[in-house]
Amino acid sequence: MSGNDHHPGDVSAGPGVRLRLLPTFELSDHGGHIRLQGGAQRLLAFLAMCQRPPHRSLVATRLWADLPDERSSAALRTSLWQVRRAAPHVVVDHHSHLRLCGSVEVDVHEAARWLRLLETGERTERHLPDCLSHDLLPDWPDEWAVIERERFRQIRLHALETLCRRLTQAGEHRCAIEVGLSAVAADPLRETAQRVLIEAHIAEGNLSEAVRQYRSYSRMLHLELGVEPTVLLTALLPRAAHAHSAGRIAARR
């Protein structure tokens, strides 16, 4: 997942040009929607995801893989023409290598930076920005989009789980549960997401909520995959019940 760097000699696309990919494609200039056809949309989204500027031939092959070389190259030229007519200077062509202009703001780049800072502990938030509730272009079937969607999903899930644990340790139980629920909603079958949510319920002292969440997950896992939760997750509940009972006995003394 890439970001846009400013290059000397770039003709700026303007400070208000923004590309949105979470969850749907939208190109805007100072809030005004810029209309583009499907091929032009896919071109911009693909360039936004590239780690380094790809050659034109690679772009044509990846975006129009079902067409012969001549037709895929023609499709790329058409899409480039459409982009340049609607949004001049958004795409830079340097020695037949294509990239987005560095002044274009891309929401998925901003979200990925935010998530990495969160995961490394350089920032801690109680609430998440709205963009982190969405997948990357969920309705796009292109192979490259599927790969980038999964890459972003993994970054997002790890960051949500990390934040949930930190909030639980800090005693911010309500916020921890909210973040844990976001992680579970993103992937209900993911045990690590279920684990941090159950731990948050236990830390708050709500054993019934923890047991309810565990049983719901166990049923879903059995129905969907025919397997049971791991010992690591199952062991949480007896330990929590024992600690809860010990705390109640100590409180009576």
Examine domains 17-103 and 106-246 and report if their fold is the same: no
- Four-way CATH pick for 17-103: 1.10.630.10, 1.20.1730.10, 1.10.10.10, 3.10.150.10: 1.10.10.10
Place of tokens 């949510």: 197
Q: Which of 197, 187, 177, 127 is nearest to 156 (CA)?
A: 187
Question: Cα(96)–Cα(137) distance, rounded to whole angstroms?
Answer: 27
Helix, strand, coil in percent for the chain, rounding step 5 = 60, 10, 30
Per-residue pLDDT of the chain (253 residues; tens, 9 = 90+): 665 655 544 555 557 899 999 999 999 999 999 999 999 999 999 999 999 999 999 999 999 999 999 999 999 999 999 999 999 999 999 999 999 999 999 999 999 888 888 877 777 777 777 778 899 999 999 999 999 999 999 989 998 999 999 999 999 999 999 999 999 999 999 999 999 999 999 999 999 999 999 999 999 999 999 999 999 999 998 766 555 444 543 444 4
Q: Using one digit for the tens of pLDDT, what is the confidence trace for 44-100?
A: 999 999 999 999 999 999 999 999 999 999 999 999 999 999 999 999 999 999 999
Predicted model pTM: 0.84
Give the list of residues 6+ apart from residue 166 with CB closer than 8 angstroms, or none: 121, 124
Q: Which of 160, 144, 155, 154 is nearest to 51 (CA)?
A: 144
Domain limits, the chain: 17-103, 106-246
Fold of 106-246: 1.25.40
